[in-house]
Structure 1
Amino acid sequence: MPYVKSISVHATVDKSLRYILDHDKTESQLYTVSINCTTDAHDAYLQMKAVYEHYARDKYNSPPPLEGKGTVKAIHYIISFADSENVTPMLAHKLAMTFVRKNFGDEVQAVIATHIDKSHVHAHIIVNSYSLSGWKFYANRNTLRKARENINGICRAFGITPALNFENKGRSVDHYEWEQRKKGTSWKEQIRQAIDELIPTVNSLDELLQALEERGYEVKRGKYISVKAPGQERFVRTKTLGEEYTEKSLKTRILYKDIGTGNTIAEDEPSQLKAAYIAVIGDVRILAEQRKKVPRKRIVTAEYSADNDLDVYRLSAQLSVISKNNIGSIGELVGRINRLKAEYEKRRVEINALIDEHNRLVSLLEQVREYHVLRNKGELSETEKVRLSVCKQAVESAAILSAADADRLRERVETLGKKITTLKGNLDKTCQQYEVYCDIRDTYNIIAKGDYLSDLVEEERKRREQMNKKKKPSR
């Protein structure tokens, strides 16, 4: 039976729809279908948005809160089939459609796209979290278990056996793994390359993991992050991929990727905050040169050195932020963190108000269009007469009396849409600055306690101890 996993989509439903409906992945959308919406990514998003906002106390495109993920707007299911099953794209597509009907009923809004751009066929399904009648769909362990039970039953009806027998640890290597080994590409290297390619395109660790899942990787969050590539038998902890792939390193690589270290202006009497950073950067460089700390690379493809040490880079980037923003003390930094948090929430409320206004004007613009279509149609059905009356009332109430009025309304909608996009971009920058400031605060607290260097040395001691254990021959 195919493997089923789900991804909760909190703020990027439009992006997820564009991804699954990519022409290159679906044979020019040959294997795409929708239920109670269209297969056009933009239109499907608007239709799902209308249903969600009718029932939820939230906006479909509202920015996420500064802390936490926010509400689930949609659920992204991925059904993967092993090569050994010989499941054709058409059959996979049929199975996915049957699954959606069985699992969610006839009132669900869903887009189904079967991808054939990889060696294994896999179907993507994006389900709106509210049905047409207001039924709420949840994404948790119980609902995922139920989904897997349903797809298993469907596969049995179609005579399909399990794609992967997870209980049989002695199973043979599947074709995908055999092909990777033949090319000399290990699973770990494949995952490293995928992460390295995605880091420049994401703004947080959550976005990175979601992007991996959308590309067919399976991700588990627990004490450690574990990833499994398409066709791979077992999960791999990212910390085993190298020091650059631990959760802390990934967060650092993402958070500081666009900041840079800059040039710190020399001062006769630097503040206590800057002086602490200058001193610890020098000490960490010495540890790196003497190989007394864990060798984490900033640029993973370059040779390791003190100049290419991720911890040195992180501290230098933090010092650059402190200097560029004229942060004189830890108290001042904490004050800025509090102000940024308040500013973020204020802007978020402002954006949500603009989204309300934009939605109202878009609806009015659609009524203007429908009014002119119905008025010029001729003979109307009873339903169309009612619609014409409703649209006429809306048009007259808004004083849209001429083509020029309609053009001005259209321009207002476009202007407001651009303003919302700009404000969301500014909100993302505020969020990043908040996270950087919080990271500086937490780092300085460790430095002030005198634990920063000793923690690095102890971490390296444990790493070497673990390596020596692995080298000892078993008796």
Structure 2
Amino acid sequence: MAYRKKCGDIFYRKIDLSHKIAKAFVRKNFGDEVQAVIATHVDASHVHNHMIINSYSLSGQKYYANRSSLRQARETTNGVCRAFGVTPALNFENKGRSVSYYEWNQNKKGTSWKEQIRQEIDKLIPSVNSLDELLQVLEERGYEVKRGKYISVKAPGQQRFVRTKTLGEEYTEDSLKTRIIYREVGAGTTPEIDNKSQLRADYAAILSDVRILAVQQKKVPRKQIITAEYSVENDLDVYRLSAQLSVINKDNIRSIGDLEGRITKLRIEYEKQRQDINEHIEEYNRMVSLLEQAQLFKDLSAKGKLSDAEQLQHTVCRQTLNQNDIHSPADVDSMREKARHLGIKISALKENLEGCRKRYDVYSDIFKTYGEISRGDYISNLVEEEKRRREKDTKKKRKL
């Protein structure tokens, strides 16, 4: 009681909780017949445990310490911590090895270059319309960007570039594109399946298969919401397919031929809208130029004696205004009002053009995905990707 009073109730509860977590970990990881000594230490800024186990259980079974058992112990630690409502200090799940202590510590402090880049990208994704725009805004904010086989980013003050794919599976080029174009499409919806449509039936089947792969941990884990725990509901591939199926249902796309026809129409519509905008911008720029000349003509007219150059400017401005039927201040005001309305119209046209481009991108992505589904490539690619990831992790372990 004296010790409890000295430390305070909150600190004492931390000690008690830490010891409970250690006991639960030992029982879950080594079994009920293990012999172990657990020491809960308070001699540092954080409460922590030291454990010693007898490598032979009461029934004589030997525990072998190796890379595989170490990985299992790490994952067990995370599970036990979460069961007690404690966020693990290091997350070893779905990784070949842990992050370095330096990287973890910098992440904790919020000073890691990688974490800084992650946070900047996460902050920008809701406001950009494409991967190119995302990279452009990053450059405007002082980040250096290199485009090659992989996208590399360097934060202001950072010495070396970092490939975005090393920031996590949610930051690969494909994942970033998916997070951008589907952030508002199909979010939070439960797609309805129309068995009469082969397109929808194929999507439903492949979506079910991908969910099974995610549950069985046979695919690369990618998060849709990176701040949440990874799960089937928070899997970027599942989300992407669900969002695509939601678009297919919402827009009543009946077949792949129907989809292809819509893509062609969108391409034609986009080009027409782009040409219309360019023509309106050209007219707007002409009006702005006339208004500038009208202002110059007014300023020169109010001036007393003009130099030869000013006299020439005055004459040119008068001729230009006359040729465009601008003869009075009222005509200038009318031109200014027309330019204002045209500017508003151009903004609206640009918004429509962007909407057309977004829809085109979504439809094209669905068309590409369905092509992979039809060829049987979609699932095999996910499995092969996971296989390559595990082989890469194995090679890293051997080097250690």
- Tell me, yes or no, whether TM beats 0.5: yes
Residue-by-residue CA offset, 1:194-243 (whole Å, 9 max, x unaligned): 11111112111111112222222222221111222222232221111111
**Residue of structure 1 in register with 2:167 after alignment:** 241
CA distance in 2, matches of 1:357, 1:224: 41
Rounded to whole Å, the distance in 1 between the matches of 2:385 and 2:184 is 27
Alignment match, 1:264: 191
Residue 462 of structure 1 corresponds to 388
For residues 352 and 311 of structure 1, the distance between their equivalents in structure 2, rounded to whole angstroms, comes to 38
Structure 1 residue 341: deviation in Å? 1.1
Q: Helix, strand or coil for the counterpart of 2:391?
A: helix
Q: Please list the CA deviations of residues 439-459 of structure 1 after superposition, one character each: whole Å capped at 9, or x if unmatched.
A: 111100000111211211121
Structure 2: distance between partners of 1:260 and 1:331: 22
1:304 is paired with a residue whose SS is coil
1:453 corresponds, among 360, 379, 393, to 379
Q: How far did 1:184 drift?
A: 5.7
The residue type equivalent to 2:209 in the other structure is D
**Match of residue 355 from structure 1:** 281
SS at match of 2:233: helix
Match of 1:316 among 242, 249, 264: 242
- CA distances 1:113-143 after superposition (whole Å, capped 9, x unpaired): xxxxxxxxxxxxxxxxxxxxxxxxxxxxxxx
Query: Displacement of 1:342 after TM fit?
Result: 1.3
Change beyond 3 A, Cα 1:375–1:442: same
Equivalent position amino acid for 2:300 in 1: L
Q: 1 CA distance for matches of 2:240 and 2:376?
A: 18
2:281, 2:338 → 1: CA distance? 13
Letter matched to residue 418 of structure 1: I
Q: CA deviation at 1:403?
A: 2.7
In 2: Cα distance, 1:236 partner to 1:365 partner: 49
Q: 2:94: which partner in 1?
A: none
Matched with 1:250 is 176
User: Whole-Å Cα distance in 2 between the matches of residues 205 and 239 of structure 1?
Assistant: 14
What CA distance in whole angstroms lies between the structure 2 residues aligned with 1:345 and 1:337?
12
Tell me the number of residue pairs that the alignment of Structure 1 and Structure 2 aligns: 296
- Corresponding residue number in structure 1 for 2:222: 296
**Deviations, residues 298-325 of structure 1 (Å, cap 9, x unaligned):** 0000011111110011111111111111
- Length-normalised TM-score, structure 2: 0.70
Aligned residue number for residue 418 of structure 1: 344
Q: Does 1:472 align with 2:395?
A: no
Are residues 1:332 and 2:250 paired? no
The letter of the residue matching 2:191 is T
Q: Distance in 2 between matches of 1:452 and 1:389?
A: 70
For 1:469, give the aligned amino acid. Answer: K
Instruction: Tell me if the contact between 2:321 and 2:327 (Cα under 8 Å) persists in the aligned partners.
Output: yes
SS of 1:226 mapped into structure 2: strand
Change (3 A) 1:181 1:307: closer
From 376, 397, 400, the equivalent of 2:302 is 376
Q: Which residue of 1 aligns with 2:358?
A: 432
Counterpart-to-counterpart distance in 1, 2:107 and 2:166: 19
- RMSD in angstroms over aligned alpha carbons? 2.0
Q: Give the whole-Å Cα distance in 1 for the aligned partners of 2:123 and 2:344.
A: 29
Q: Choose the corresponding residue for 2:327, options 395, 401, 414.
A: 401
Unaligned runs of 5+ residues in structure 2 are: 1-102
Distance change (3 Å), C-alpha of 1:184 and 1:199: closer
Task: Give the greater-gyration-radius structure (CA).
Answer: 2
Please give the alpha-carbon distance, in whole angstroms, between the structure 2 residues aligned to 1:223 and 1:450. Answer: 26
Partner Cα separation in structure 1 for residue 374 and residue 108 of structure 2 = 52
8 Å CA contact 2:186–2:244 kept in 1: the answer is no
Q: Secondary structure at the match of 1:273?
A: helix
Identity of aligned residues (%): 63
Q: Which among 128, 134, 147 is matched to residue 221 of structure 1?
A: 147
Question: 1:180: Cα distance to partner?
Answer: 6.1
| 1:391 Cα offset (Å) | 1.5
* Larger proportion of helix: 2
